[in-house]
Amino acid sequence: MKGKKLIAVAAGAVMAFTLAACSGSGAGDDSSADATTSAAPAESNGGDAAMEKGTIGVAMPTQTSERWIADGDAVKKGLEAEGYTVDLQFAGDDIPTQSQQIDSMITNGSQLLIVAAIDGTALSGQLEAAAAAGIPVIAYDRLIRDTPNVDYYVTFDNYKVGVQQATSLLVGLGILNEDGSEGDAEGPFNIELFAGSLDDNNAFFFFNGAIDTLQPYIDSGVLVVPSGQTEIEQVATLRWAQETAQKRMEDLLTANYASETLNGVLSPYDGISRGILTALSNAGYGPTIADGMPVVTGQDAEIASVKLINDDVQFATIFKDTRKLAAQAVVGALSFLDGAEPEANDTTTYDNGVKVVPSYLLDSDIVYKDNITSLLVDSGYWTADEVASGVAE
């Protein structure tokens, strides 16, 4: 029955000409819509057919990281510009909340889902229901695993992001120059490694790209990992949480650095980087890199971290232009809604355990202090004032 309703809507704009006021639900980033979840609404919400083009469900993981807020807003605006209503939900990094939000999107008649999963393996049940209802599913930034019911994946070249993170660490230590040529520094340097959340497929791609880049230097003794913790399971950070990273950094310092000096930390995400920097600063490192703060990497070009880079506290981050990602998700969604297959530029890399998901990969850049302006300000991602204040306006 859900399928019938969807097909009626998805059959094309021709059939969706009922013009009436939109319900207004989900038109913002409030999450109050989940309160209405129940088993019944599939048949009782005929009101959604009243929208000119129908509703698209957008499920984002959390608002604690500003990137997901920007991602959600950009996808929403892009789809609204095409005449769709958007049910945008954030799940507070809570898996049951996200599952419930997706259930509601399906029962409320969403025509298509765009999902950035909290736990990439936890949505099989929801996506089975989506498939039964004929609802295409786009995995957003994070691959959804262990299900045949994901149709398209928009993301960045995540292995390359990991290579870039490791490269920025090597540049910060002076082993490489920014142009990729050999630097003057010979080491040995003490480093520690951090990875993201093991339930996020991206964490493995980032870590693999990074460790493949660092391993030759570890093998030759230029880089030393005093804790001995070099496996992803040992260095992972559940939910990418800043406090968790801070605690692990504190423990690492206590256990391994009573008489050693730490020179660098591979960090996969700016929130984790800030936790690491807090621990380092509390332990007396810094305050700036010039004063002995270890070289700390990052990802996402979050404004608080861009300011830290500008202030010579964090060494680098990776800029993934979420505006481009959101635009590609919208392009993919429109293709599905037109009954076509969206363009993929990678059909081999992202095996989700059941199938290789056709993917569209975008490029990323390393941000150093000296290219903040060219990469982030000139492109309009952040203003010069935001970089100076560390606060998004």
Residues of this chain that bind ligand GAL (CB under 6 A): 65, 67, 141-142, 196, 200, 202, 240, 269, 299-300, 320
Q: How many angstroms separate the most distant Cα atoms in the chain?
A: 73
CB closer to ligand GAL out of 196 and 294:
196
Supply 281's token pair: 């600063």
Q: 105 near 115, Cβ under 8 Å?
A: no
Q: State in angstroms the smallest separation of the CB of 61 from ligand GAL.
A: 7
Q: State in angstroms the smallest separation of the CB of 41 from ligand GAL.
A: 31
CB closer to ligand GAL out of 48 and 200:
200
Q: State in angstroms the smallest separation of the CB of 84 from ligand GAL.
A: 25
Q: State in angstroms the smallest separation of the CB of 362 from ligand GAL.
A: 11
Q: Which of 44, 51, 47, 35 is nearest to 104 (CA)?
A: 35
Handedness of CA 94, 91, 140, 193 (dihedral sign): negative
CB closer to ligand GAL out of 9 and 329:
329
CB closer to ligand GAL out of 61 and 109:
61
Q: Which residues are within 8 A (CB) of 392 and not within 5 positions of it... i.e. 6 or more apart?
A: 66, 303, 382, 386
Q: State in angstroms the smallest separation of the CB of 118 from ligand GAL.
A: 10
Using CA atoms, how far apart are residues 320 and 67, in angstroms rounded to an integer? 10
Using CA atoms, how far apart are residues 355 and 35, in angstroms rounded to an integer? 34
CB closer to ligand GAL out of 60 and 337:
60
Using CA atoms, how far apart are residues 151 and 307, in angstroms rounded to an integer? 38
Q: Which residues are within 8 A (CB) of 137 and not within 5 positions of it... i.e. 6 or more apart?
A: 112, 113, 115, 127, 130, 131, 144, 149, 150, 151, 152
CB closer to ligand GAL out of 136 and 268:
268
3 state DSSP class of 246: helix
Q: State in angstroms the smallest separation of the CB of 240 from ligand GAL.
A: 4
